[in-house]
């Protein structure tokens, strides 16, 4: 069903994702610059069908069941923060692993909460699926803040000391199950992120994220494996790839990579990590990248739950659409944040993130240069850098006090913000973006 429809007197109703539902807003047709959301192709497959096709037709011709025969395989699976169809991925891979000597599954949480109930459900699901295929297996959930569970494997050319989950290190082959979309500083969510941050120690992730986040080339749409050579320079991702190479050494890495939407698979390939990721980047750009003439006013939704469940995740919508807004422009951000500020492992983690979000940009920049920088400074820094260009209004379940403390102006009636823009400039063109957390919007 379309999320834009006509109305009285030339008004258009635009429905944007908000929590578990939709929020309807209205704008005169003549003032609607565009309504952007991910392209939804006609070709959509059930996950089980898509994964079987990919595994039966591997890039490079080597089948998974042959690759793992008699070997110990390390299989990394995304955590609950990703919209991946987890059980279908695990089932498809596990069905081909029966000839492996041993399978070490790791839920690649990075620094996310390993004891989150949703991650523990993924662990339990993997145990059930692997058991049903009679595999010799173990399941671990990466716990980045438990240093004894990690070993040092080397230092990258950019100086990041790489400590990785011990359970991965004696594998003969690595297999990732990865979902792909644009990522606001790592270029794309892709299989290489399963190594750093996915199965890395907390201090390793902190060094990578905080040490390289200030470089403006550490940004969405940029990746060393991009098909456009002009978009290959991303210092933070170069560091991630260095880390992966230190971990795997001369062993092979394969991936079952997907692009999914609402449970359907839009694209899927299995094969060597670089070849498959390159193909996935191209397809992700076809589905999720848009070029627009920058506007004065933008309305953006992260995409509803779970993309807007926390302030921490919801603010990505503004990162990924920033180029669509003129200097000095304004953004109306619709993000329910029903679960609060942050997914934190402890209340202290939540408070650290919130306190960082209340700091000014220069103070955050100074903190990032310190070796003892608190982890979430990098995200707060990127957020506060938005205010060099835009002003933000927020419609959210968060209190006005919280929104104002992080420099977001509360908009308890989002329609009144739009009406105010049009009252100031009756010829204004307003751009609407839904599911912005999956998009990459570029100014033309």
Pairing outcome for strands 187-189 and 390-395: unpaired
The pLDDT score that the predictor gives to residue 82 is 79
388-441 tens-digit pLDDT: 999 999 999 999 999 999 999 999 999 999 999 999 999 999 999 999 999 999
Distances (CA, A) of 229 to 66, 222, 370: 34, 10, 33
3-state SS class at 365: helix
Question: Residue 213 gets which letter from DSSP?
Answer: T
Domain ranges of the chain: 4-36+293-443, 47-286
> Could you tell me which of 103, 99, 104 has the C-alpha nearest to residue 69?
99
In DSSP terms, which residues pair with 391 in a beta bridge? 330
Q: Is the pLDDT of residue 16 over 50?
A: yes
Q: What are phi and psi of 79, to 5 degrees?
A: -90, -170
* CA atoms in the 13 A half-sphere facing the CB of 403: 22
* CA atoms in the 13 A half-sphere facing the CB of 354: 18
The pLDDT score that the predictor gives to residue 28 is 97
Q: What are phi and psi of 412, to 5 degrees?
A: -70, -20
**What is the topology classification, in CATH, of domain 47-286?**
Rossmann fold (3.40.50)
Domains 4-36+293-443 and 47-286 share a fold: no
Average pLDDT, rounded, for the chain: 95
42-49: list long-range contacts, CB under 8 Å, 24+ apart: 43/266, 44/261, 44/264, 44/265, 44/266, 45/264, 45/265, 45/268, 46/264, 46/265, 47/85, 47/88, 47/89, 47/92, 47/258, 47/260, 47/263, 47/264, 47/265, 48/88, 48/91, 48/92
Over range 163-171, report the average pLDDT: 98
The pLDDT score that the predictor gives to residue 8 is 47
User: 214 is written with which tokens?
Assistant: 């200030």
335-376 tens-digit pLDDT: 999 999 987 768 888 899 999 999 999 999 999 999 899 998
Give, to the nearest 10 degrees, the angle between helix 86-94 and helix 117-132: 30
The pLDDT score that the predictor gives to residue 7 is 47
> Could you tell me which of 342, 357, 338 has the C-alpha nearest to residue 395?
338
Buried b (16+ CB within 10 A) or exposed e, 255-275: bbbbbbbeebbbbbbbbbbeb
**What is the topology classification, in CATH, of domain 4-36+293-443?**
2-enoyl-CoA Hydratase; Chain A, domain 1 (3.90.226)
50-65 tens-digit pLDDT: 999 999 999 999 999 9
Share of the chain above pLDDT 90, in %: 91
Sign of CA dihedral 332, 338, 340, 341: negative
CA distance 302 to 333: 8
Distances (CA, A) of 418 to 238, 403, 415, 425: 41, 19, 5, 11
Q: Is the pLDDT of residue 5 over 60?
A: no
The pLDDT score that the predictor gives to residue 119 is 94
Helical (H) or strand (E) element with 72: strand 72-78
Task: Mark out the alpha helices in 32-188 (DSSP H runs).
Answer: 47-56, 64-67, 86-94, 117-132
pLDDT classification of 81: cutoffs 50, 70, 90:
confident
The pLDDT score that the predictor gives to residue 57 is 98
The pLDDT score that the predictor gives to residue 1 is 39
Share of the chain above pLDDT 70, in %: 98
Q: Is the pLDDT of residue 330 over 60?
A: yes
DSSP 5-53: EE-GGGEEEEEEEETTEEEEEEEEGGGEEEEE-----S--B-HHHHHHH
pLDDT classification of 4: cutoffs 50, 70, 90:
low
Give, to the nearest 10 degrees, the angle between helix 202-212 and helix 235-248: 150
Question: Residue 186 gets which letter from DSSP?
Answer: T
Residue 40, Cβ neighbours under 10 Å: how many? 11
Residue 192 near residue 240 (C-beta atoms within 8 A): yes
pLDDT classification of 212: cutoffs 50, 70, 90:
very high
Over range 233-241, report the average pLDDT: 98
């Amino acid at each position: 069903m379309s999320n834009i429809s006509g109305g009285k007197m030339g008004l258009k109703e635009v429905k944007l994702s908000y929590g578990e539902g939709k929020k309807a807003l209205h704008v005169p047709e003549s003032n609607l610059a565009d309504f952007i959301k991910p392209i939804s192709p006609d070709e959509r497959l059930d996950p089980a069908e898509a994964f079987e096709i990919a595994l039966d037709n591997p890039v490079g011709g080597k089948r998974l069941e042959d690759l793992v025969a008699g070997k110990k395989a390390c299989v990394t699976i995304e955590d609950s923060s990703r919209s991946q169809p987890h059980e279908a991925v695990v089932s498809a891979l596990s069905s081909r692993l029966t000839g492996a000597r041993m399978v070490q599954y790791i839920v690649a949480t990075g620094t996310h909460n390993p004891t989150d109930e949703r991650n523990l459900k993924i662990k339990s699901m993997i145990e059930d699926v692997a058991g049903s295929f009679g595999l010799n297996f173990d399941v671990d959930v990466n716990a980045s803040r438990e240093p004894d569970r990690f070993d040092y494997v080397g230092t990258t050319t950019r100086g990041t000391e790489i400590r990785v989950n011990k359970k991965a290190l004696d594998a003969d082959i690595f297999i990732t199950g990865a979902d792909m979309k644009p990522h606001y500083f790592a270029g794309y969510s892709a299989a290489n992120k399963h190594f750093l941050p996915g199965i890395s120690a907390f201090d390793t992730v902190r060094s990578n994220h905080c040490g390289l986040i200030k470089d403006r080339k550490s940004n969405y749409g940029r990746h060393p494996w991009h098909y456009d050579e002009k978009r290959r320079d991303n210092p933070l991702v170069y560091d991630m790839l260095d880390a992966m190479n230190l971990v795997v050494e001369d062993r092979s890495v394969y991936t079952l990579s997907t692009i999914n939407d609402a449970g359907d698979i839009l694209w899927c390939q299995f094969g060597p990590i670089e070849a498959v990721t390159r193909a996935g980047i191209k397809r992700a750009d076809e589905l999720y990248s848009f070029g627009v003439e920058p506007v004065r006013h933008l309305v953006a939704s992260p995409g509803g739950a779970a993309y807007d469940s926390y302030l921490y995740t919801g603010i990505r919508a503004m990162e990924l659409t920033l180029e669509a807004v003129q200097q000095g422009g304004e953004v109306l951000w619709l993000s329910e944040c029903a679960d609060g500020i942050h997914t934190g492992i402890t209340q202290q983690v939540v408070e650290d993130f919130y306190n960082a979000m209340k700091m000014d940009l220069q103070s955050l920049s100074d903190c990032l240069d310190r070796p003892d920088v608190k982890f979430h400074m990098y995200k707060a820094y990127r957020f506060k850098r938005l205010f060099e260009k835009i002003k933000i209004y927020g419609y959210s379940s968060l209190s006005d006090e919280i929104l104002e403390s992080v420099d977001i102006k509360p908009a308890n009636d989002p329609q009144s913000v739009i009406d105010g823009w049009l009252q100031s400039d009756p010829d204004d063109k307003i751009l609407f973006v839904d599911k912005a957390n999956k998009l990459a919007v570029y100014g033309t």
